[in-house]
Structure 1
Amino acid sequence: MSTPDPSTAVSPPLALTTGARAVRALRQFVKFGLVGGAGVGVNMAVAVVMNKANGGTANAQDVLFAIPGTDFNVRFTSLVWIVGFLVANLFNFQLNRSWTFRSANRAPWLQEFGPFLLVGSVAAFVGLFLKVALTNPTSPIYLASDWFHEDAGLHSREYWAQLITIVVTMPVNFLVNKLWTFRHVRNRHLARVEEIERTKAA
């Protein structure tokens, strides 16, 4: 009895499906990263514009208002982070919706943007504390090196803290948005559409 030639063996369909899914996920991650990179540019552009409008990054720690009942304050750097996030989030969503996770089964724009904004807001909330920690001299992760100063944009502690925080929060954004915003929400929308079609056909 002859033995099968391993070189001509056909892989099980499941293996092919798993491989195809892995390739697709990798492709989506690369696209998400490219979109995220563009979003970083948008976010940093917002940071530069806002800081310049406020007299430069040397004023990034200006107090906007005190948090009632505490010894803490909300500073201009926090406002920069929030506004930068909101602008970049909208930019990233539109590109991810139309390119990274493009599908014929897309849910309506608002149904997808809501979860995307929610996921981004959670990441931004965590990122806000991270950025504050990177720019607060009393923090254990303060960017304390003499290389960081506000005399030149390239060395700006404010800008580097913004950039580091974006990079740290991006992978979480990708994973949750892939599994929830662009999969679960769309599958739920498709199920509703199919149910309506079945009802009409009955």
Structure 2
Amino acid sequence: MIHLARTLTEKIEKLTGLPVKRLMKFGFVGGSGIVVNMSFFYIFNEFTSFSYKISFVFAFEISIINNFILNTLWTWKDRKTKDKKEKKIRFFKYHLITLSAALINFLILWGLVEYFAFNKYLANLIGIFAGMSINFLVNHKWTFKKIP
């Protein structure tokens, strides 16, 4: 079964040119980020006097740090750098891209809650998935680009 999945992944990569294995890793890291985000979103909503909007900001920031570390160590481990300046630049780029995705996430969360009376947790989850594709592509091409 594992051999079949690996073969299928390689064929899809050859046909589309997309880094499917890396995208899958990014998805797993993102999944852990969702757990981190939703856990802290819940904690801040239920155990503080924060609004769902403020809870979103804190939960998202914590998940950004979690995901950057995991993506650096696993998803793009072949593109590591020992240069401290480059590491800081990567974190800044990653943060910028993820904040752009966060804006999309927040607008979806806010719009669904305020205008369509969605459950705030479901709305947040929908927003998280909406930003993932852009997040991966820009990080792959810019933040973690191959260094010649």
Shared fold, TM over 0.5: yes
- Deviation of 1:19 after TM superposition, in Å, equals 2.5
Superposed counterparts of 1:76-155, under 5 Å: 76-103=51-78, 105-106=80-81, 108-136=86-114, 139=115, 142-143=116-117
TM-fit CA distance, 1:128: 1.3
Are the structure 2 counterparts of residues 19 and 83 from structure 1 closer, same or farther at C-alpha, using a change threshold of 3 Å?
Answer: same
CA contact (8 A) 2:101 2:131 kept: yes
Structure 1 letter corresponding to 2:141: L
- SS across alignment from 1:103: helix
Q: What is the deviation of 1:174? A: 0.7
Amino acid at match of 2:44: M
For 2:8, the equivalent position in structure 1 comes to none
Determine which of 25, 42, 48 is the counterpart of 2:42: 48
Match for 1:84: what amino acid? A
For residues 105 and 165 of structure 1, the distance between their equivalents in structure 2, rounded to whole angstroms, comes to 30
User: What residue number does 2:6 align with?
Assistant: none
TM-score, structure 2 length as denominator? 0.81
Assess if the C-alpha contact under 8 Å between 2:41 and 2:59 holds in 1: yes
Alignment correspondent of 2:138: 176
- Cα deviation code 1:5-57 (max 9, x no counterpart): xxxxxxxxxxxxx839947x0000000000000000000011111011136xx
Return the offset for 1:94.
0.6
Aligned-residue identity in percent: 28
Unaligned regions of 5+ residues in structure 2, if any? 1-12
Normalized per residue, which structure has more helix?
2
Q: Larger Cα Rg: Structure 1 or Structure 2?
A: 1
Q: How far 1:105 sits from its partner (Å)?
A: 4.7
The 10-residue stretch of structure 1 (46-55 or 98-107) with the greater mean CA deviation from structure 2: 98-107
Deviations 1:65-101 (A, max 9, x none): xxxxxxxxxxx11111111111000100010011001
Q: CA 1:80–1:30 in structure 2 vs 1: closer, same or farther (change >3 Å)?
A: same
CA–CA distance in 2 between the matches of 1:84 and 1:119? Answer: 17
Q: CA deviation at 1:131?
A: 0.6
CA distance in 1, matches of 2:79, 2:123: 39
List alignment gaps of at least 5 residues for structure 1. Answer: 1-17, 61-75, 145-156, 191-202
Distance 1:128 1:105 in 2: 31
Are 2:122 and 1:160 aligned?
A: yes
Q: CA RMSD in A?
A: 2.3
Alignment match of 2:14 (pick from 16, 19, 26): 19
